[in-house]
């Protein structure tokens, strides 16, 4: 056996070649193509592999006096060991013990904890369907999920049936392990669609936030803390309006988590008068984006008045505080309730420019519509059509550009309002709390991109519910790792962490009927995350039968 250099297309390639005889004719057999010589000379991974093979030679020769033969080394597969970072967090949350106990109670014949963790790890590192994950179930070194495909589906039923106890367990561990403060919670709603038009009690047609109105969907209401860590969630049928989701979510929050005073932060879609009253009745506070244009005329005039009452802080933020009594009419009870609130109106030049730019774009669309009046009727009111008006004439009707509506909108450029029940809370703090909402918007982005919650390969309500519990567990581990990284001053986005942990690999090889793991050179960030959680990395060369981490 020898190294052979061959030239092709102006490059030199390196091969491991073996000599043999075909009868009386000497021949060469290529065992392995190593690649271009110039690239290999600069490849740290290749150099590391040579070092590890040398260590394997020494290990084998120390145990066996036979001459080491490279030809007897057989490569098997490349395995991931970076998953142990999430496994460490899984155990910190006590989820291994939780599912072990649940398995005993239900008398399940398969390893429930390992199956669920395997599915969670897949969504964190290699998102795919349950069947595809099953086919690649040996990709994680040392993790031995069940051989039975049915276990990967049946565990979803268990997750769906035990969602509330799982959430409660996680919440209590978050408080004790990471001192999570839940005095302020962020709430928002998103939708997840299916490649289907078949409705049932959960999958329904509704307003799609993903722009998929012709496909059925489910609605997810999510609560996170101000660090972006999940507190709880609820799944709703696809035709549920945003404002109608909050009460059910908070019912679960109140009954299971024994919380004291909590301020709920949400966007305009959740801000309905009855929601605000419900929050006050349950003892919660609120900080909500306000529909300033829907407020009483007096409040509108004060908000637009730029001549007095404005405060400018060191960061350049301009704001003014207005006292407001919100009249809430309970139609079924035929009663009106008064909610004492503060409205914090903010102004920024950057927002003014954005508002002006957005309006100019809609005006341009409106002018384009005027060129083809026959197409106006089919347009939505919220598009360019909002700046068009119609006048009746003797021969029919005529559309024209509504300059009055354009001028009215211009008065609001740069203004934004937040209303709150917290009368003693500093106005600037109210603004700061509201601005934390970006964390929940980012949470939805992570769920839809990095964790790939969809496409959803399940159709029955229970399996869909179980799928979301599993995704919730994956989201919990990802957010916790991200938070710990920030605490240790390690800059890492979810995408970078995913790449880094996937770079932590072992090469599985066999030699003389023994299996070994050769550790590959990992990403710098991946090694930082391993050290952060005080995980001892594997040796450069280790026997498979002795391997543990």
Q: What is the pLDDT of residues 299-318, one digit of tens each?
A: 999 999 988 899 988 877 89
Continuous segment of H or E residues that includes residue 354: helix 349-371
Residue 333, helix vs strand vs coil: coil
Length of the chain: 549
User: What pLDDT, in 10s, does the model give residues 213-226?
Assistant: 889 999 999 988 88
* Mean pLDDT value across residues 435-460: 87
Sign of the CA dihedral running 437, 443, 445, 446: positive
Q: What is the H or E stretch that residue 20 is in?
A: strand 11-22
What distance in Å separates the CA atoms of residue 52 and residue 73, rounded to the nearest whole number?
13
Does 344 score more than 70 pLDDT?
A: yes
DSSP state of 195: S
- Decide if pLDDT at 78 tops 50: yes
Which tokens in the block code for residue 346?
């903010």
Distance between CA atoms of residues 214 and 296, nearest Å: 38
The predicted-structure confidence for 287-298, as pLDDT tens digits, reads as follows 999 988 889 999
Per-residue pLDDT tens over the stretch 180-203: 777 888 999 999 999 888 888 999
For residues 227-250, average pLDDT: 89
pLDDT at 154 over 90: yes
How many angstroms separate the Cα of 364 from the Cα of each of 357, 358, 360, 398, 412? 11, 10, 6, 18, 19
Which residues have a Cβ under 8 Å from the Cβ of 31 and sit 6 or more positions away?
Answer: 1, 15, 16, 17, 18, 71
* pLDDT of 117 over the 90 cut: yes
Amino acid 148: pLDDT:
93
Residues 6+ apart with CB under 8 A from 489: none
Whole-number Å distance between alpha carbons of 303 and 319: 10
**pLDDT score recorded for residue 70:** 45
- For residue 134, how many other CB atoms are within 10 A of its CB? 21
Mean pLDDT to the nearest integer, 355-380: 85
**Whether the predicted pLDDT of 410 surpasses 70:** yes
Please write the tens of the pLDDT for every residue from 264-278: 999 888 888 989 999
- Report the alpha-carbon angle 84-86-90, nearest 5: 110
CB 217 within 8 Å of CB 191: yes
DSSP label at residue 294: G
Contact call for residues 19 and 2 (beta carbons, < 8 A): yes
In this predicted structure, the answer to whether residue 456 has a pLDDT above a threshold of 90 is no
**What ranges in 109-162 are assigned the alpha helix state H?**
112-125, 130-135, 149-161
pLDDT at 421 over 70: yes
Question: Which residue in 60, 97, 7, 206 sits closest to 516, CA to CA?
Answer: 60
pLDDT band at 243 (very low <50, low <70, confident <90, very high): confident
Give mean pLDDT, residues 367-381: 77
* pLDDT tens figures, 471-502: 999 999 999 999 999 999 998 899 999 999 99
- The owner of tokens 């829907």 is 294
- DSSP lists the bridge partners of residue 517 as 508, 542
Mean pLDDT, the chain, whole residue set: 85
What share of the chain in percent tops pLDDT 70?
87
Query: Residue 68: its pLDDT value, please?
Result: 43
* Parallel, antiparallel or unpaired: strands 335-347 and 318-330: antiparallel
Average pLDDT estimate for 257-264: 77
The predicted model gives 378-405 an average pLDDT of 80
Measured between alpha carbons, how far is 274 from 291 in angstroms, rounded to an integer? 15
């Amino acid at each position: 056996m020898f190294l052979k250099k061959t030239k092709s297309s102006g490059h030199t390639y390196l091969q491991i070649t073996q000599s043999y005889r075909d009868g009386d004719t000497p021949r060469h057999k290529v065992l392995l193509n190593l690649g271009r010589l110039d690239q290999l000379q600069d490849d740290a991974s290749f150099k590391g592999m040579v070092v590890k093979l040398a260590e394997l030679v020494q290990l084998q020769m120390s145990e066996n006096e036979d001459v080491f033969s490279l030809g007897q080394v057989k490569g098997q597969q490349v395995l991931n060991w970076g998953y142990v970072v999430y496994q460490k967090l899984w155990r910190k949350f006590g989820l291994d013990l939780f599912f072990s106990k649940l398995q005993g109670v239900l008398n399940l014949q398969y390893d429930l904890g390992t199956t669920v963790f395997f599915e969670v790890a897949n969504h964190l590192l290699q998102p795919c369907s349950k069947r595809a994950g099953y086919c690649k179930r040996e990709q994680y070194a040392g993790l031995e999920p069940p051989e039975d495909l049915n276990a990967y589906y049946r565990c979803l039923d268990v997750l769906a049936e035990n969602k509330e106890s799982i959430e409660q367990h996680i919440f209590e561990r978050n408080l004790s392990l990471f001192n999570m403060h839940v005095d302020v919670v962020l709430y928002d709603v998103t939708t997840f669609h299916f490649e289907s038009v078949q409705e049932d009690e959960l999958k329904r047609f509704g307003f799609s936030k993903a722009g998929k109105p012709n496909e059925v969907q489910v609605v997810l209401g999510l609560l996170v803390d101000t660090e972006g860590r999940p507190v709880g969630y609820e799944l709703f049928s696809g035709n549920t309006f945003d404002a109608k989701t909050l009460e059910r979510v908070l019912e679960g929050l109140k009954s299971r988590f024994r919380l004291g005073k909590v301020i709920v932060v949400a966007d305009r879609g959740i801000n309905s008068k009855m929601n605000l009253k419900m929050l006050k009745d349950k003892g919660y506070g609120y900080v909500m984006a306000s529909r300033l244009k829907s407020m009483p005329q007096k409040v509108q005039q004060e908000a637009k008045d730029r001549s007095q009452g404005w405060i400018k802080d060191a960061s350049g933020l301009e704001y003014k505080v207005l006292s407001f009594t919100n009249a809430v009419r309970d139609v079924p009870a035929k009663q009106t309730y008064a909610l004492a609130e503060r409205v914090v109106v903010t102004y920024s030049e950057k927002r003014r420019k954005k508002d002006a730019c957005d309006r100019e774009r809609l005006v341009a669309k409106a002018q384009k519509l005027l060129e083809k009046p026959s197409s106006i009727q089919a347009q939505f009111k919220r598009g360019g059509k909002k700046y068009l008006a119609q006048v009746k004439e003797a021969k029919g009707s005529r559309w024209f550009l509504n300059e009055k509506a354009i001028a009215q909108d211009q008065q609001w450029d740069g203004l934004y309002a937040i209303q709150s029940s917290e009368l003693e809370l500093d106005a600037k703090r109210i603004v700061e709390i509201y601005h934390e909402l970006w964390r929940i918007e980012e949470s939805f982005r992570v769920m839809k991109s990095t964790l790939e919650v969809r496409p959803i390969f399940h159709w029955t309500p229970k399996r869909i519910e179980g799928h979301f519990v599993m995704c919730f567990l994956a989201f919990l581990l990802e957010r916790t790792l991200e938070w710990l990284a920030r605490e240790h001053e390690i800059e890492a986005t979810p995408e970078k962490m995913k790449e880094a942990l996937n770079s932590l690999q072992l090469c599985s090889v066999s030699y003389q009927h023994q299996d070994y793991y050769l550790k590959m050179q990992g990403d710098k960030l991946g090694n930082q995350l391993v050290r952060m959680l005080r995980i001892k990395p594997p040796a450069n060369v280790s026997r498979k039968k002795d391997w543990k981490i």
